[in-house]
Chains A and B, each alone.
Chain A
Amino acid sequence: MIEEEMTDHQEPSPHSLGRSNVSEVDAIVTHDLVRHFGDVRAVNGVNIQIPKGEIYGFLGPNGAGKSTMVHMLCTLLAPTGGRATVAGFDVESDPAKVRLRIGVALQEAALDPKQTGSELLSLQGRLYGLKRREIQRRVSELAEMIDLGDFLDRMIGTYSGGMKRRLDLAAALIHNPEIVFLDEPTTGLDPVSRLQVWSEVRRLNQELGITIFLTTQYLEEADELAHRVGIIDDGKIVAEGTPTDLKKAVGSDLILVRVEGDTSDAVAALSTVPGVQNVEAHAGELVITTSTGSATISPVAVALAGTNVVVRELTLRTPTLDDVFLELTGTHIERADAQEESS
């Protein structure tokens, strides 16, 4: 008997509950979730609690464990340890019930190039048990949403990357899921297509109340869309909260100085400048935290002139999620990506 073949396939009605020991307000809950690949701990004791109707941004560099989390939560991978419930059902013991309630758009658009867009959507609808009329209605609604026009009746192999992404998103929505997993939905998209996806994600959440679990390596994407953000690094959640709260924790203003030379002297000099709350040196860059950026930037420049570093660039800005990541891990998220790719 193939694994899971005997799992529940006798549900009385769409979206029926029959759930036990779970909160009715939480869409996704994990307790000490772990996933090993041999000696590698891709996910290492993750605890998250996502209420219904929230957009949860899961942020981290490549290889941090984002996709492994998604694969576990959408039942493609079994956890090595811990527990996860999605839509109130355990991903390990009730995967069939979970699948009925979720829609997933994986990192690479998983499409069949030898079907047309409408054939693919219809097949998805059939596999989710939709009746012929329901499928026609949903395909028509989703066709308007993804705006593919006549392309919907052409082979998917002829689509551009952006069109494939939009079709993939439509395929994830054909059955009106309660929860949608979007694994890096804008990676590889041009800026216009990226904005279109953002707009659609917002609309799905605001108008339909769909809970969205969004993994991304783009800081502005998490900042723009997510109600709350979980930052994962090396398989562990290193910070969680609203983007505003996370950025507030870093400080209200940041003065960034790109320098050449030994920074220890500069760090000591800057620490004595009035208004400076904190100074950190990271690989040729000084990060100065202050609550009064515009008033402090001039004294900072003067203080630096008296040290032996050469100032290449000096900027004042408010904190971003990258600064949060830097504060927590000691590296920029983009640099973490580059290190991952080169290793």
Chain B
Amino acid sequence: MTTTTDSLRSEGSGAVIGARPAGIFRDLSSIAGRALRAVPRDVTSVVPPVFIALFFFVVNIATLKKVTSSIPHFSYTSFEIATAILLGVTGVSRAPALVLDIQSKYFDRLLLTPVRRTAILVGHMVADVSVAAVLTVPILVLGFILGVRFHGGPLGVLGFIALSSLWSLAFAGFGYAIALKTGNPAAVNSTFLLFFPFLFLTSSYVPRSQLSGWLSTVAKFNPVTYLLGGLRSLEVGGGAVWVPLGQALLAVGIVALISMTLCFAALRGRVKRS
């Protein structure tokens, strides 16, 4: 540490440099920017989900394409890309990083600044949505190579990416709730358990009309069923898109309402000073 006589108060050029409230957008962009910078330094948080999505996309097509070939006007590749996308983006979040912040006390350092408490959480979520949107790209590219076509054009593709990213955010809320409530990395990893009922008790691999018995009943109440319907409708395009898209948005909205209520309650508990 040098002992220069420079003035840290920085009064040399006139105005004194001093703290002031940064504003909500700056708070958000600062927290989101930090979270995004961390992603390429922590590729293990994003590479496995994309690999799993691409792997199951290819394997499922090879396994089930022939089985569904008897269904008229049905392309299994187009059908399956929605599932692949959800496999890729569900559970992708910076919640494990937030737990590390809590454990390393960096979270306390953030609380010592004037940053809005909600911005700490929402900033991470902004980063998550951006990451989820980017993760859909390689899966979509493989889909295009394998023959998937969006009849709704670029708008359909954008809608597909946006809806997938919103779902990713809604699901991430559960991870943040557990992260903020427990501060325990193992507990956050257990969010993975929610992944199974959401993504497998539904029309992930065959059309809903082909499901039978209890699985058909469960799928009826699974919000992912309607999300998949909405995503697949965006591939078809045209006027038929609005009803399934509305149902998909409603389903994502309901899940988001639950997960966001939980994670903001957990944030309140975490920043409570009493």
Residues of A near any B CB (own CB < 8 A) = 2-5, 8-11, 13-15, 74-78, 95-96, 99-102, 104, 106, 108, 110-115, 119, 123-124, 126-130, 134, 137-138, 141-142, 144-147, 155, 166, 171, 173, 175-177, 196-197, 199-200, 203-204, 207-208
A129, A145, A173: which contacts B20 (Cβ < 8 A)? A129
A114 lies within 8 A of B41 (CB): yes
Contacts of B154 in A (CB 8 A): none
Does B17 have its Cβ within 8 Å of any Cβ on chain A? yes
Task: Kindly supply a per-residue 1/0 record for chain B positions 253-267, scoring 1 wherever the CB is within 8 Å of any chain A CB and 0 otherwise.
Answer: 000000000001001
B1 lies within 8 A of A176 (CB): no
Measured CB to CB, the closest approach of chain A to B36, in angstroms, equals: 12
Closest 8 CB pairs of A and B: A14-B18, A129-B20, A175-B19, A110-B105, A78-B273, A129-B22, A196-B1, A110-B109
A106 lies within 8 A of B108 (CB): yes
Given contacts A2-B118, A3-B268, A123-B30, 5 further A-B contacts (CB under 8 A): A99-B113, A128-B114, A130-B17, A177-B19, A207-B8
B27 lies within 8 A of A127 (CB): yes
Contacts of A100 in B (CB 8 A): 19-21, 114
B2, B7, B105, B111: which contacts A208 (Cβ < 8 A)? B7
CA distance A119 to B110 in the complex (A): 14
Task: Kindly supply a per-residue 1/0 record for chain B positions 127-161, scoring 1 wherever the CB is within 8 Å of any chain A CB and 0 otherwise.
Answer: 00000000000000000000000000000000000
Contacts of B63 in A (CB 8 A): none
CA distance A126 to B113 in the complex (A): 10
Task: Kindly supply a per-residue 1/0 record for chain B positions 14-41, scoring 1 wherever the CB is within 8 Å of any chain A CB and 0 otherwise.
Answer: 0011111111001100100110011001
B1 lies within 8 A of A146 (CB): yes
CA distance A9 to B22 in the complex (A): 8
A137 lies within 8 A of B17 (CB): yes
A147 lies within 8 A of B1 (CB): yes
CA distance A108 to B19 in the complex (A): 24
A8, A138, A144, A155: which contacts B17 (Cβ < 8 A)? A138
Contacts of A200 in B (CB 8 A): 1, 3
Contacts of A13 in B (CB 8 A): 20
Contacts of B273 in A (CB 8 A): 3, 75-78, 95
Does B190 have its Cβ within 8 Å of any Cβ on chain A? no
Does B116 have its Cβ within 8 Å of any Cβ on chain A? yes
Does B193 have its Cβ within 8 Å of any Cβ on chain A? no
Interface residues on B, range: 35 or more
CA distance A44 to B115 in the complex (A): 31
Residue of B nearest to A107 (CB): B105
CA distance A101 to B21 in the complex (A): 11
B1 lies within 8 A of A199 (CB): yes
CA distance A52 to B101 in the complex (A): 33
Residue contacts A-B, CB under 8 angstroms, 10 given: A75-B273, A100-B21, A101-B19, A111-B106, A115-B37, A128-B22, A130-B17, A144-B4, A175-B19, A207-B5
Measured CB to CB, the closest approach of chain A to B102, in angstroms, equals: 11
B9, B16, B37, B274: which contacts A119 (Cβ < 8 A)? B37
Which of B5, B101, B115 has the most C-beta atoms of chain A within 10 angstroms of its own C-beta? B115
Which of B4, B17, B19, B26 has the most C-beta atoms of chain A within 10 angstroms of its own C-beta? B19
Does B10 have its Cβ within 8 Å of any Cβ on chain A? yes
CA distance A106 to B113 in the complex (A): 13
Task: Kindly supply a per-residue 1/0 record for chain B positions 113-127, scoring 1 wherever the CB is within 8 Å of any chain A CB and 0 otherwise.
Answer: 111111000000000
B18, B115, B268: which contacts A15 (Cβ < 8 A)? B18
Contacts of B26 in A (CB 8 A): 126, 129
B118 lies within 8 A of A112 (CB): no
A4, A127, A147, A199: which contacts B113 (Cβ < 8 A)? A127
CA distance A124 to B41 in the complex (A): 20
Measured CB to CB, the closest approach of chain B to A35, in angstroms, equals: 10
Does B272 have its Cβ within 8 Å of any Cβ on chain A? yes
CA distance A119 to B8 in the complex (A): 19
B108 lies within 8 A of A110 (CB): yes
Measured CB to CB, the closest approach of chain A to B33, in angstroms, equals: 8
Contacts of A77 in B (CB 8 A): 273
B4, B9, B19, B118: which contacts A128 (Cβ < 8 A)? B19
CA distance A75 to B101 in the complex (A): 19
CA distance A207 to B38 in the complex (A): 37
CA distance A9 to B115 in the complex (A): 10
Measured CB to CB, the closest approach of chain A to B163, in angstroms, equals: 28
Contacts of A141 in B (CB 8 A): 6, 8, 10
Contacts of B34 in A (CB 8 A): 112, 115, 119, 123
CA distance A173 to B42 in the complex (A): 29
CA distance A262 to B109 in the complex (A): 53
A3, A75, A114, A203: which contacts B112 (Cβ < 8 A)? A75
CA distance A126 to B2 in the complex (A): 25
Residue of B nearest to A72 (CB): B273
Measured CB to CB, the closest approach of chain A to B203, in angstroms, equals: 38
